[in-house]
Structure 1
Amino acid sequence: MDVSIVTREAYAEAFRAVTGRPLVKLTQPNGRPDSEIVFEMLAINGIVASDEHLPRFLDALAAAFGARRRRLAKEGRMMAGARDALKAVARLDGVVQSVLTGTIKSNAAHKLAAFGLDRYVDIEIGGYGEEVYPKATLLQVAQGRAGRRHGTVFDGRNTVLIGDSARDVQAARIAGASMIGVASGRSLPAELHEAGADVVLPDLSNSSEVVAAVASLTSPARGAGRFPAGR
């Protein structure tokens, strides 16, 4: 989903709240976690970051974004087919769905709820932007959370990441998970293939294709569940 207008406003408000100065220079997310974006944003605006800056900034960002949550559905947009794809994959036997995102947990929850997607995912086992891990490690952290919650092992045999960038593909490869690349975001189909995606879809509009891809890349007979994690 794209809620960039609200996100930019929330970042600007959080920056002022933490530094006492207006935000002048913006940085591009490019699939990076909020924790990394915060440090770069402080640096390019002439603020020398201390250990206290990150937790204060993330708290302020959560408050600023939460105050604007009612605008998300009106001013943002959901990727075509996203709801139907999540709903369809949820019907697969043994599926556990969550999110792996650079957005901090509270803001990710607001985004999902605004578009009615929260009912299809287990937010508690996901990986989020306040956790200072590389994305590949964050995927492994999420697998561990899913395993403890559901009493089974989630690993490369039964985990598939769905994302729209070559960086997502690289994270899946490092973590040993399967990867479905969706060419409706930052990367072209050729880039996703070259990065090593197992399956590349043009978008999520054909939920049958998404279900078939997830089913082909997971093996519930070898693990006790399947763990599709989407961005």
Structure 2
Amino acid sequence: MILVLWDIDRTLVYTGDIDRRVYREAFTSVVGRPPTALPARGTGVTMPLAVRELLRVNQVPEQDVEALAARIVAELPERLAGHRELLVRDGVVMPGAVDALAAVQQAEDLIPTVVTGNLRGSAETKLSELGLIGYLDTTIGGYASDNLHRPALVRIAQDRAAAKHGGRFHRDNTVIVGDSLEDVRTGLEGGARVIGVASGTTTAEQLRSAGAQHVLSDLTSTTTLLHFINRAQAAVRGR
């Protein structure tokens, strides 16, 4: 079997400024003043690391960063859930995402879940409100609430998948589908092949140069996506 790890933001969905709104609200609630700068867009870093950067660029004393970051991170999923109507109204499912998810889910030898910089609660809210959660087994995913560092999430998801399905998951039978340089790094360092999708702020050439084994312009060609995933299957069967 092949474990397919989907990234969420800018790969499956685009939620515009909603995350940044949530960061602003949580920062203001915890720090007591609104931020003057917000995290960079589309980088793919985990939410806890983005929160630490948010605190630092807004001149919060270094000795206070960890404690305040923990409080902000704890607020993020609930605050996002408070904007469900906004997610439904303004959130966008990326072109081809539904058909791509359905094709992977229906394939007999593929196990679809997520590896994401979102906290689990935030990830499930986005997927649920935009109608995608039924295509994924979120119980075996890897989330920023599991570890600050994205490469570590691959092993977490592999271990959860192994516990549920048996066998052992490793680089040769695990594939990440994602749009950012962080997705590529996560695969290379964490132990997965990478299919880059140039649907975010990173170009196809940048994804290739960073080490993605395959690159798609978007998810509209389900046949091509499955072909790239099945190359991993062929490698495993040829061993």
Relative to structure 1, is the Cα distance of residues 84 and 35 closer, same or farther in structure 2, using a 3 angstrom cutoff? Answer: same
- Correspondence 1:3 to 2:20: no
Gaps of 5+ in 1: 223-231
Partner of 1:227: none
Aligned partner of 2:55: which letter?
L
Deviation at 1:51, TM superposition (A): 3.9
- Correspondence 1:162 to 2:177: yes
Partner of 1:203: 218
Deviation at 1:144, TM superposition (A): 1.1
Matches within 5 A, 1:70-149: 70-149=85-164
- Correspondence 1:54 to 2:69: yes
Gaps of 5+ in 2: 1-12
Relative to structure 1, is the Cα distance of residues 219 and 144 closer, same or farther in structure 2, using a 3 angstrom cutoff? Answer: farther
Equivalent residues of 2:197, 2:215 under 8 A apart: yes
Relative to structure 1, is the Cα distance of residues 220 and 117 closer, same or farther in structure 2, using a 3 angstrom cutoff? Answer: farther
SS of 1:96's equivalent in the other structure is strand
4+ residue runs over 3 A deviation: 219-222
Scaled by the length of structure 1, the TM-score of the pair is 0.89
How many residues get paired? 222
- Which deviations, in whole Å up to 9, do the C-alpha atoms of 1:197-225 show, x marking residues without a partner? 11111110111211121112235965xxx
CA RMSD of aligned residues (A): 1.8
Partner of 1:23: 35
Scaled by the length of structure 2, the TM-score of the pair is 0.86
Q: Percent identity?
A: 34
After superposing the two structures, state which structure 1 stretch, 55-64 or 34-43, moved more. Answer: 55-64
Equivalent residues of 1:2, 1:76 under 8 A apart: yes
Correspondent of 1:33 among 46, 53, 57: 46
SS of 2:111's equivalent in the other structure is coil
- Kindly indicate whether structure 1 or structure 2 has the higher relative contact order, using CA contacts under 8 Å at least 6 residues apart: 2
- Correspondence 1:184 to 2:199: yes
After superposing the two structures, state which structure 1 stretch, 142-151 or 129-138, moved more. Answer: 129-138
